[in-house]
């Protein structure tokens, strides 16, 4: 007769959380930063076909790190959620808070009941009409939901990225300044994590993926930044 081994729930939860954290830590970091006219989302992504950033609705953007297929399924589900709610009630009823709560419940259920937890973290950013009306939410692999105040990071070395953002952020940043700050934060965090004394690595403009939700745009606030946009912002920094 074969008997199953008993695993205490707290040990099982701890091991599942450690497994998910290791998977997320292998992902390249993403920085999210408010600037004068909206919210910037940016990260290193050499792939031209797989997007880590995307549009959910008129003024709501999505960012994910970890396993692409897992956070892409959530992004797609979020688009469907927003479309149905906007059609059934009204476009103004689709909010980042409601979407973040839905993501939190989904990831919490997966973490508890599925065989393998999702190895992802996601952020949802919404730009408002005024400077104080923007909202950024971070949802972790176990469904933990938190509010990001003005700027934040997720993925590998996220704490170091956030340190540099905190040192350089101010509420009067324009978009080029926000791009320079965020790219510098990600590059410096990666260099700090490497071998001491190693050469500083500069990420090429073509290897960045960046997008904004900008309140000065039309009804659709989401816009992707081009390689030229990023190169132009970083050239300004060096001149």
pLDDT in tens, 79-121: 999 999 999 999 999 999 999 999 999 999 999 998 899 999 9
The Cβ of residue 147 has, within 10 Å, a number of other Cβ atoms equal to 11
Question: Which candidate, 61, 134, 64, places its Cα nearest to that of 99?
Answer: 61
CA distance 210 to 121: 17
CA distance 147 to 158: 15
Mean predicted confidence (pLDDT) in 118-144: 92
Mean predicted confidence (pLDDT) in 140-165: 94
Instruction: Give residue 17's domain range.
Output: 9-238
pTM: 0.90
- In this prediction, residue 194 carries a pLDDT of 52
Our count of domains for the chain comes to 1
Question: Which candidate, 179, 192, 180, 183, places its Cα nearest to that of 238?
Answer: 180
Residue tagged 């659709």 (tokens): 220
* CB contact at 8 A, 19 and 13: no
* Percent over 70 (pLDDT), the chain: 90
Residue 193 has pLDDT above 80, yes or no: no
CATH number, position 124: 3.60.20.10
Question: Which candidate, 161, 129, 169, places its Cα nearest to that of 37?
Answer: 129
Residue 1 has pLDDT above 60, yes or no: no
Mean predicted confidence (pLDDT) in 208-230: 94
Lowest-pLDDT range, 54-58, 96-100, 127-131, 159-163?
A: 127-131
Q: Is residue 1 part of a domain?
A: no
Q: Is residue 219 part of a domain?
A: yes
Q: Is residue 2 part of a domain?
A: no
Q: Is residue 100 part of a domain?
A: yes
Q: What is the DSSP letter of 55?
A: E
């Amino acid at each position: 007769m074969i008997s199953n081994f008993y695993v205490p729930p707290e040990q099982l939860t701890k091991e599942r959380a450690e497994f998910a954290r290791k998977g997320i830590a292998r992902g390249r970091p993403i920085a999210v930063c408010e600037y004068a006219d909206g919210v910037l989302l940016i990260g290193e992504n050499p792939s031209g076909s797989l997007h880590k950033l995307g549009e959910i609705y008129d003024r709501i953007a999505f960012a994910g790190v970890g396993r692409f297929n897992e956070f892409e399924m959530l992004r797609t589900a979020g688009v469907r959620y927003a479309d149905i709610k906007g059609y059934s009630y009204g476009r103004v009823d689709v909010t980042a808070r409601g979407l973040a709560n839905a993501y939190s419940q989904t990831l919490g259920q997966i973490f508890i009941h599925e065989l393998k937890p999702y190895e992802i973290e996601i952020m949802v950013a919404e730009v408002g009409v005024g400077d104080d009306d923007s909202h950024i939410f971070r949802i972790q692999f176990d469904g933990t939901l938190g509010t990001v105040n003005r700027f934040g990071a997720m993925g590998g070395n996220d704490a170091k990225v956030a340190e540099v953002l905190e040192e350089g952020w101010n509420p009067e940043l324009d978009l080029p300044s926000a791009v320079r700050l965020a790219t510098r934060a990600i590059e410096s965090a990666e260099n700090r994590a490497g071998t001491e004394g190693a050469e500083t690595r500069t990420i090429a403009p073509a290897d960045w993926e960046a997008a904004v939700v900008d309140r000065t745009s039309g009804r659709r606030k989401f816009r992707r930044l081009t390689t030229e946009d990023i190169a132009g912002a970083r050239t300004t920094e060096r001149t």
